[in-house]
Chain A
């Protein structure tokens, strides 16, 4: 079970409160891409809000944090930290601080 914290605007869009819990099953390692695929499958209204619908690239002002590290520039297919995979720590998706 992977825990994901969405930014407030995306929680509102997806009609969720609190953390999202997702199963990312299978023999392949859990990665950013697989977690985002699972989020978008469950909440299709979030398509295009976290990553570009066509290129798959993270939107410029969206960041990924976990285990006190900034994973925003980690390759989408790199395995997530073990503590995220086990559900011990959440993957935090947030809107970057920008503007006033």
Chain B
């Protein structure tokens, strides 16, 4: 029987949760890199034992760790994320220009085909790629130097490039999302980029049709329908059916217009999961009830999934990279909270249970199906 490995990055280290394909008994391994922030821990689709971790901290900066044996051992690889060429300026919170400055890697996205190829999304927003398993990093400068770059302004979490989608069909197509610049698409492997934010509505910018300035929180895609994208943003859940050329709101009857993660069911490209959060200032579940919402209609109509989740006095958050799906049938869904719980459902969201309850605040969750 196949197995599942769930990779969890937290404020104080990495944890690896494993189960067989039944997904009812879990082993918790960790912490790895105890005391360090693990912004993202993920595996290669081409080689599930090849893992990458973004390890960072305020004292000692950014490191990248690599495992070639599924997390049993780790090696430090390259951390030279220098911005190439002349470093320009973006807008600071107060609207004044500020030079780009590297702070950390938010997200690592390994190639679908080559375990040695991995992309890295940085704060301040930039996209890097490595072709040698993380030893050397090269910036794809056309993104940071896009003509709109001087207008990009950080969201509350920083000017972070947090989402990278490598298109499964168009080999040179890459999507990225940046808070709070918006979403961008390249059709030439990162040599040039176009903002893809038409139709987004963002309450705190004066021009709703602005090319950039939208606070995109996360984007999800189903590999069988790559031109359809689902977006959770600050204000609304959105959908595009033309590779981001246009977006329409699908928030429907959700209880809030805010949240961070969004995921698509592995077995149905019209089944989508979000975790509504109350904003603008609280950032916890509405009414203190932790609810995943599922739409089986590609949006607009949502149902609350509550069985096994706390329905009173729950004030945790679920961050943008902290929800994932596996590829088993029925689909497994996993999410981690800022309270340190990792919940899972092995039946498409109908019922939930904690795998582990008392980890440090969870920053990222990824799921792998093992042979």
- Contact: A13 with B59, CB < 8 Å? no
- Contact: B79 with A47, CB < 8 Å? yes
Q: A9-B57, A98-B58 are in contact. Are A49 and B80 (CB under 8 A)?
A: no
Min CB–CB distance A14 → chain B (angstroms): 9
Interface check A73, CB cutoff 8 A: no
Q: How far is the CA of A98 from the CA of B58 in the complex (A)?
A: 10
Interface check B337, CB cutoff 8 A: no
Q: Which of A21-57 contact B (CB under 8 A)?
A: 45, 47-50, 52-54
Instruction: Map CB proximity to A onto B45-58 as digits: 1 under 8 Å, 0 otherwise.
Output: 00000000000011
- Contact: B82 with A53, CB < 8 Å? yes
- Contact: B63 with A61, CB < 8 Å? no
Min CB–CB distance B290 → chain A (angstroms): 27
Measured between beta carbons, the chain A residues less than 8 angstroms from B330 are none
Give B80's nearest chain A residue, CB to CB.
A53
Q: How many residues of A contact B (CB 8 A)?
A: 19
- Contact: A50 with B82, CB < 8 Å? no
Instruction: Choose one: A45, A52, A54, A99; the contact of B63 (CB below 8 Å).
Output: A45
Instruction: Choose one: B60, B76, B79; the contact of A95 (CB below 8 Å).
Output: B60
Instruction: Choose one: B35, B61, B82; the contact of A49 (CB below 8 Å).
Output: B61
Instruction: Choose one: A45, A53, A62; the contact of B59 (CB below 8 Å).
Output: A62
Q: A9-B35, A9-B36 are in contact. Are A59 and B59 (CB under 8 A)?
A: yes
Measured between beta carbons, the chain B residues less than 8 angstroms from A59 are 59-61
- Contact: A10 with B60, CB < 8 Å? yes
Interface check A78, CB cutoff 8 A: no
Q: How far is the CA of A62 from the CA of B59 in the complex (A)?
A: 6
Min CB–CB distance A94 → chain B (angstroms): 9
Interface check B163, CB cutoff 8 A: no
Give B57's nearest chain A residue, CB to CB.
A9
- Contact: A54 with B60, CB < 8 Å? no
Min CB–CB distance A92 → chain B (angstroms): 15
Interface check B62, CB cutoff 8 A: yes
Q: How far is the CA of A52 from the CA of B82 in the complex (A)?
A: 10
Q: How far is the CA of A48 from the CA of B35 in the complex (A)?
A: 18
Interface check A96, CB cutoff 8 A: yes
Instruction: Map CB proximity to B onto A63-100 as digits: 1 under 8 Å, 0 otherwise.
Output: 00000000000000000000000000000000110110
Measured between beta carbons, the chain A residues less than 8 angstroms from B82 are 53-54
Q: How far is the CA of A47 from the CA of B78 in the complex (A)?
A: 9
Q: Which of B48-94 contact A (CB under 8 A)?
A: 57-63, 76, 79-80, 82
- Contact: A62 with B58, CB < 8 Å? no
- Contact: A48 with B79, CB < 8 Å? yes
Q: A9-B35, A13-B76, A54-B82 are in contact. Are A49 and B60 (CB under 8 A)?
A: yes
- Contact: A45 with B76, CB < 8 Å? yes
Measured between beta carbons, the chain A residues less than 8 angstroms from B57 are 9
Instruction: Choose one: B36, B59, B61; the contact of A96 (CB below 8 Å).
Output: B59
Measured between beta carbons, the chain B residues less than 8 angstroms from A48 are 61-63, 79-80
Q: How far is the CA of A48 from the CA of B59 in the complex (A)?
A: 11
Measured between beta carbons, the chain A residues less than 8 angstroms from B61 are 48-49, 52, 59
Measured between beta carbons, the chain A residues less than 8 angstroms from B35 are 9
Q: How far is the CA of A9 from the CA of B62 in the complex (A)?
A: 13
Give A10's nearest chain B residue, CB to CB.
B60
Give A51's nearest chain B residue, CB to CB.
B61
Q: How far is the CA of A49 from the CA of B82 in the complex (A)?
A: 14
Q: A9-B35, A9-B36 are in contact. Are A53 and B79 (CB under 8 A)?
A: yes
Instruction: Choose one: A50, A98, A99; the contact of B60 (CB below 8 Å).
Output: A50
Q: A9-B35, A54-B82 are in contact. Are A49 and B63 (CB under 8 A)?
A: yes
* Sample of 12 further A-B pairs with CB below 8 A, known A7-B60, A9-B59, A13-B76: A10-B60, A47-B79, A47-B80, A49-B60, A49-B63, A53-B80, A59-B59, A59-B61, A61-B59, A95-B59, A95-B60, A99-B58
> Which residues of B are in contact with A by a Cβ distance under 8 Å?
35-36, 57-63, 76, 79-80, 82
Q: 6 interchain pairs (CB within 8 A)?
A: A7-B59, A13-B76, A48-B79, A53-B79, A53-B80, A59-B60
The 4 closest A-B pairs by CB, nearest first: A45-B76, A49-B60, A95-B59, A61-B59
